[in-house]
């Protein structure tokens, strides 16, 4: 295997593993701080990561085209190690929030560059599929390992992935002498302002037209539902299930998403039907998780995997630049994951978690009746 591609794969796994190792222990991290403010602090800790990714994904993607993709892959790895070290050694809420934002920024630096590099290879479908698989495998492993190690050492999984990222990438960087300059043939001159502003503005305006509104809203609601359930379930399940059971349940979301996303591309079903099937199973999963966490998270993950394939197929057919359309699609994903838990946190102060999850599932079910 090409060493540069191996670096991308390992980094994708460890970056996602560290990001999700925090999830099962969110209530404990929030309680470690003396300036914690209950459920809202928990929602901020969850969403800070996605706000970091949401705010940096597009700018870092543009800069990676300008200065070289591998430089931003290196930046993503370095930021991941920094954020892991901060989380390991700090108990202050505001410092933890900054660390989570840095962790999200690492994702924003890494993934646009990684997708850009792999999409240029001779067999991009295979390599992008492998990257997506490892992306979800990292999420699942992070949640599972965190749940298993929490009783022994609360930040055990964070320590594992921080050390793993540091050691593996240090070794690989030492082997990649030309890492900083593998794209010397790329154009690195100053790009005209019209490239950044006029053409993208026109295409974004078309993509946000009324005919596409249902698609973007559905993607936002689906990922918002995932964000709310994952953010608040650790607090909701305190005293009812063990940390190991919580880690297994959350990891099942990503395992099922891995399986169904691979299978969804082989279904001879129109993209609209894939989206509706996925949304239906996802809404059922959100509601089922109230009493049956493993079943609920599995159904939510399986449904989201199918729906995401449908969304991607629908976006690919839009009459717009492919990269811009996919960028907007990813923006709706991170907007849902980051903003929905914050909005839910405002209601968590006077609404029980069970009622919050019921409303969450019902809102997602509304997406099934959207025409577009």
Percentage, residues of the chain above pLDDT 90: 24
Read off the DSSP letter of residue 210. G
d(CA 297, CA 256): 9
pTM, two decimal places:
0.73
**pLDDT tens readout for residues 41-91:** 777 888 889 889 888 877 787 777 777 788 888 899 999 999 999 999 988
**Once rounded to an integer, what is the mean pLDDT over residues 331-360?**
86
More confident residue, 169 or 53: 53
pLDDT tier at 172 (50, 70, 90 boundaries)? Answer: low
Amino acid 87: pLDDT: 93
Q: Percent of the chain beyond pLDDT 70?
A: 81
Q: Are 132 and 262 in contact (CB under 8 A)?
A: no
Mean pLDDT across 14-40? 79
pLDDT score, position 188:
44
Residue 21 has pLDDT above 50, yes or no: yes
Domain 1-180 has CATH 1.20.1250.20: yes
Let me know how long the chain is.
372
For residue 187, give the DSSP letter. Answer: -
In sequence order, what are the residues at sequence separation of 6 or more whose Cβ sits closer than 8 angstroms to the Cβ of residue 194?
none
CATH 3.40.50.360, applies to 198-372: no
The CA distance from 103 to 19, in Å, is 7
pLDDT tens column, 100-133: 999 999 988 888 788 778 767 776 656 766 777 7
Residue 187: pLDDT band by 50, 70, 90 thresholds? very low
Direct distance between the N- and C-terminal alpha carbons of the chain, in angstroms, rounded to an integer: 42
For the chain, residues classed under CATH 1.20.1250.20 are 1-180, 198-372
Beta-carbon contacts of residue 343 (< 8 Å; ≥ 6 apart)? none
């Amino acid at each position: 295997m090409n060493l540069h591609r191996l670096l991308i794969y390992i980094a994708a796994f460890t970056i996602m593993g560290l990001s999700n190792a925090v999830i099962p222990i969110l209530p404990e991290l929030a309680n470690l701080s003396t300036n914690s403010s209950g459920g809202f602090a928990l929602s901020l800790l969850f969403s800070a990561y996605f706000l970091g990714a949401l705010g940096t994904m597009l700018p870092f993607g543009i800069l990676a085209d300008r200065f070289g993709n591998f430089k931003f892959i290196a930046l993503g790895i370095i930021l991941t190690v920094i954020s892991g070290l901060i989380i390991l050694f700090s108990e202050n809420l505001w410092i933890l929030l900054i660390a989570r934002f840095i962790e999200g920024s690492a994702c924003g630096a890494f993934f646009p560059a990684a997708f850009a590099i792999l999409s240029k290879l001779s067999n991009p479908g295979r390599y992008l599929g492998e990257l997506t698989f490892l992306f979800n495998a990292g999420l699942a492993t992070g949640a599972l390992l965190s749940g298993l190690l929490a009783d022994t050492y609360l930040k055990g999984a964070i320590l594992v992935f921080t050390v793993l990222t540091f050691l593996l990438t240090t070794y690989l960087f030492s082997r990649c002498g030309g890492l900083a300059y593998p794209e010397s043939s790329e154009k690195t001159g100053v790009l005209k302002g019209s490239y950044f502003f006029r053409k993208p503005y026109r295409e974004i305006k078309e993509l946000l037209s009324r005919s596409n509104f249902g698609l973007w809203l559905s993607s936002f609601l689906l990922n918002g539902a995932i964000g709310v359930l994952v953010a608040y379930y650790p607090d909701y399940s305190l005293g009812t299930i063990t940390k190991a059971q919580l880690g297994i349940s959350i990891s099942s979301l990503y395992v099922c998403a891995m399986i169904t996303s691979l299978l969804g591309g082989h279904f001879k079903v129109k993209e609209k039907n894939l989206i509706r099937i996925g949304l239906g199973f996802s809404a059922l999963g959100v509601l089922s998780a109230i009493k049956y966490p493993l079943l609920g998270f599995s159904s939510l993950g399986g449904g989201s995997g199918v729906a995401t394939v449908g969304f991607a197929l629908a976006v690919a057919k839009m009459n717009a630049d492919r990269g811009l359309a996919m960028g907007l699609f990813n923006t709706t994903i991170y907007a849902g994951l980051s903003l929905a838990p914050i909005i839910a946190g405002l209601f968590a102060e006077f609404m029980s978690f069970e009622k919050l999850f019921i409303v969450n599932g019902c809102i997602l079910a509304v997406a099934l009746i959207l025409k577009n």
